[in-house]
A and B are shown apart, each in its own frame.
Chain A
Amino acid sequence: MEILIYGLINSMLLVLMAVGFALAYSVSRVPNFMHGSLYVLAGYLTWVFLNRLGLGYLLSILLSVGTATLIGWVVYKVAVIRVRGMPVSEIIVTFAISLTILEFLRWLGLRGATYVLPPFYSKTVTLLGVPVDSQRIAAVLIAAAIVLVLWIFTHYTKVGLGLRGIAQNERAALMLGIDSDRAATLALALGSALAALAGITIIPMGNINVATGYDVLVFAIAVCICGGLGSWTGTILAAFVIGFAQMIVVYLVAPHLAMVVALAAIILILIFKPSGLFGRQKELEERV
C-alpha cells in the first residue's frame, strides 16, 4: 500500500519536474539545460522574498515564478535566438547559463538546513492507512492541475494550438502564419515558469540545495526521453513508469538508487525503443 501511494506521489512529482522541460523542448527544439537551475533559483528567491524582504508567502511565490519566466524569456531573446539551429551552440549556451546560476548560488553558500521553505499547510493526513503529509498531497493536486490546464491550453486556445502546430510541423505552421520565434520564446518562458513552480511545490519537502538542480535536470530528461522527446502523453506515462519503478527499488533495495533507476530507464529505452514510449512519428527522424 505504501508503495502504491508513495509511487503515485513520486510519479506526480516527476510529472511536475518534467512537464516544463517537455514543453520547451517540443516547441522550440532547444534542450533547456537551465531547467534544474531555475528550479533551485525559484526556491532560493522565494526564500529571500519571504525571509529577507518579509513579503507574504503567496506574493513571494508569484514573484519568483515571474522572475523565472522573465529569465526564460530574456535568455531566448538575447542568447538562444542567435544560435538557433546550431545544436552544439544551443546546448553550450543553455548549459553555460545553467552553470552560471547554480554555481553562483553555490558561491552564495546555499546549503544546509538554513534554507528551508515552509510547507503550504503543515498537517499529516492518513490515506488508506498510510500517513502522508499535506505538502505531498498539495504537490499531487498541483501537478494534476498543471497537466489539466496545459491540456486545455494546448487544445482550446489559439496560442496553445499554435504551439502544438509548431511542435508537430514547423514548416507547415510557418505557412499558416504562426511565428516560430514567438512561439519558441513563449514555450521557453512557460517552461521556465513550470520549472519554478515545480521547485516551489517540491522544495518545502526538503531543503534548498544546489546539487538538486542537477538531479532535477536528470530526472526531467529521463522522463522526457522515456516518454519520447516531444510527446506529452508519453511524458506523463513515463513519469508513472519511472516513478513507480523508483519507489519499488527504494523500498526493496536501497534508498540511494533513485537516480540509478532514472538513468537505467534512459539506457534501456534508448536500446529498445529509441523514440520513447509514445514518440511514434519521430522514429524515422531521430534514428539514423
Chain B
Amino acid sequence: MAEDAIRRKERLDRGVKVRSDTVYAVSSWKEILFLLAPRAALIAVLLLAPLFVPSLYWQRVICIMGVYALLAIGFDFLAHFVGLVCLGGALFIGVGAYFSGCLNHYLGLPPVLTIPIGSIGGALICTIILLPTLPLRGVYFAIVTFTYPVFLERIIVAADILGGTDGIPGLSILYSTWLSQYSILSVILLCVFGLRRLVNEDIGVVFRGVKDNDQAIRASGLSVTYYKAIAVFFAALMGCFGGAYLAHLYGWVGMSLLSMDFSVFPLVATVVGGPGTIAGPLVGCLLLVPISEMLRAFGALRIVIYSLIMVFFILFWSEGLVNWARRKYEQFERWVRV
C-alpha cells in the first residue's frame, strides 16, 4: 500500500501521435498509416461482414445491427454533444416505419421513394412533436421521448388507425439481401464520418456550447432552441431512416416497431462502446447485436442482461471500449515515483 501511495501512472502521447496531429502527418507512410489504420479497419470490418457471415439468417442480423447502430449513433450525438438524453429510439423507428409504410400501402410508392420521404418526413414530425421540450433544460426531453412511444401505441390501439394491433402487412420488400445490407452499411459509414466532421465544424462548437453552457450561446445571440431542433432533426433523420428501412425489410409495419428494445439497445451500445465518440456506439452494436442474437433463447431475460451490463459499465468503466482502446493506441503509460 505504501508503495502505491507514492507512485502514479503517467500517460504520455506516443511520438507518432504527436507528429500525426499536425501537418507533419503527411511526412511519411508511418504517420499516414497511424491515422488511417483504425478508420480503415472499421470500414473493412463493416464492408466485409456480409461476405463472411454463414447464412441468410445472419445476413438479416447485419441489417438489424445497422438499424440499431444508426439509433445508437444518434443517441450518442444527442447525449454527449448536445446534452439531450433521448430515451425514445422507438419513437424515431416507429414514426419512420409508419410514415413510409403508409406511403407504400396507401399511395403505392416504391421503396426507392418511400424510404427517403419517410426518413425526412418522419424526422420533421419527430422534431415538431419534440419541440415543446426543447426550450427547457433538465430531464424533460428524456421523459417526453420516453413517453411518446407508449402514447403512440395507445392511440393506435384506441383509435384503431394504421392497421391497429395487426399492423399493415404486405409492403414491398427490398430488392435483394445484398442491396439491403450494403445500403444500410453505407448509410452508417456516411453518418459516422459525417457526424464526426460535423461536430468539429462551427456548428459542432455551438452544439457543445448548448450542452455545457447554454447561457453563453444565448449571450452570443444564437437561439438555443433552434440549434437543439437541428440536432434532434439529425438524430431523428437517422432513426427514421432505420424505421423506414425496417418497414421494407420486413414488408410489415406494426406495434412491435414501437417496442422498448429500440430505446434500450442504443443506450447499452453507447455506454459499452464509448460515449462521446460517435464511432463507439457502432463498435458497441457490432459486439452486442451478435451476442444478443445468441441470447435469444433467454427471452425477456435479455433486457435484464443488457441493463446489468449497462449499470456495470457506467459505474465501473464509464469510458467505454473505444475510449479505452484509443488511449492504449495513442499513449503509453508508465509508473512514476512522485
Residues of A within 8 A of B (CB): 31, 78-79, 82-83, 87-89, 91-93, 95-97, 99-100, 103-104, 106-107, 214-215, 218, 221-222, 225, 229, 254, 256-257, 259-260, 263, 266-267, 270-271, 274, 285-288
Contacts and interface: CB of A to CB of B under 8 A. Distances in A.
A91 B136 contact: no
B8 interface: no
Nearest to B160: A256
A91 B85 contact: yes
Contacts, number: 124
A218 B267 CA distance: 20
Contacts of B306: 99
25 contacts: A31-B142, A78-B315, A83-B314, A87-B138, A89-B318, A92-B271, A92-B310, A93-B315, A96-B311, A100-B308, A103-B300, A104-B304, A214-B150, A215-B150, A218-B146, A229-B138, A256-B157, A257-B158, A259-B154, A270-B136, A271-B132, A286-B140, A287-B137, A288-B215, A288-B218
Contacts of B132: 267, 270-271
A78 B310 CA distance: 15
A276 B222 CA distance: 26
A93 B315 CA distance: 8
Contacts of A78: 315
B143 interface: yes
Contacts of A221: 143, 147
Interface string B143-184: 110111011001101100000000000000000000000000
Contacts of B314: 83, 89, 92-93, 96
In the complex, which of the residues B80, B85, B306 has the most CB atoms of chain A within 10 Å of its own CB atom? Answer: B85
A115 to B, nearest CB: 16
Interface residues of B, number: 49
A100 B307 contact: yes
B25 interface: no
A232 to B, nearest CB: 18
Contact of B137 (A79, A104, A286): A286
B311 A288 contact: no
B135 interface: yes
B139 interface: yes
A259 B146 CA distance: 13
Contact of B311 (A79, A218, A287): A79
B93 interface: no
Interface string B273-314: 001000000000000000000000011110110111011001
A91 B307 contact: no
Nearest to A257: B158
